[in-house]
Amino acid sequence: MTEKTCPCGDGKSFDACCGPYLSRASVPVTAEALMRSRYTAFVRQDISYLRTTLWPKNLRGFDEVATAKWAAENHWTGLTVLDVQKGGAADREGTVLFEARYLSGGKLNTHRECSRFRKKAGNWYYVEALAH
């Protein structure tokens, strides 16, 4: 089942936006597209996509069970991209500042993060959250 509008908030249908990334039919060409697809993976609880798009050196610290639990326990309500630095198709790294909103325990929360992304062998990866 697909949503009419992609959860990432880009305004496109899921099939025309993050769907091809989560189905592994294509890869994001920008850091922002990867960040949006990772948000959508949280919404859809696609933990293997989150693992696949994590910078390879950080895989050892990835807690799949805890990530799955956190994704399932929250109701994701929206994403706003606030700033993008580099991260274009021709770049090798970039940052995306965003706010992800979610309901948890009946309370609306906002997760604000500046994420660093890096490209390796033509694929973008999430590296880490930076202080902002």
> Does any domain span residue 7?
no
> In the structure, what pLDDT confidence band is assigned to residue 77 with cuts at 50, 70 and 90?
very high
What is the token pair recorded at 41? 């993976």
What pLDDT is stored for residue 132 in this prediction? 63
11-52 residue pLDDT tens: 999 999 999 999 999 999 999 999 999 999 999 999 999 999
> Does any domain span residue 103?
yes
> Does any domain span residue 1?
no
> Does any domain span residue 66?
yes
84-112 CB burial, b ≥16 within 10 A, e <16: beebeeeeebbbbbbebbbeeeeeeeeee
What pLDDT is stored for residue 4 in this prediction? 84
Domain that holds residue 123: 14-130
Q: How far is it, in rounded angstroms, from Cα 102 to Cα 109?
A: 5
> In the structure, what pLDDT confidence band is assigned to residue 56 with cuts at 50, 70 and 90?
very high
> Does any domain span residue 6?
no
Structural domain count, the chain: 1
pTM over 0.85? The answer is yes
Closest-CA residue to 31 (of 107, 109, 116, 102)? 116
> Does any domain span residue 9?
no
What pLDDT is stored for residue 2 in this prediction? 46
Higher pLDDT, 71 or 2: 71
| CATH number of the domain where residue 86 is located | 3.10.450.50
> Does any domain span residue 2?
no
> Does any domain span residue 101?
yes
What pLDDT is stored for residue 131 in this prediction? 72
Decide if pLDDT at 126 tops 50.
yes
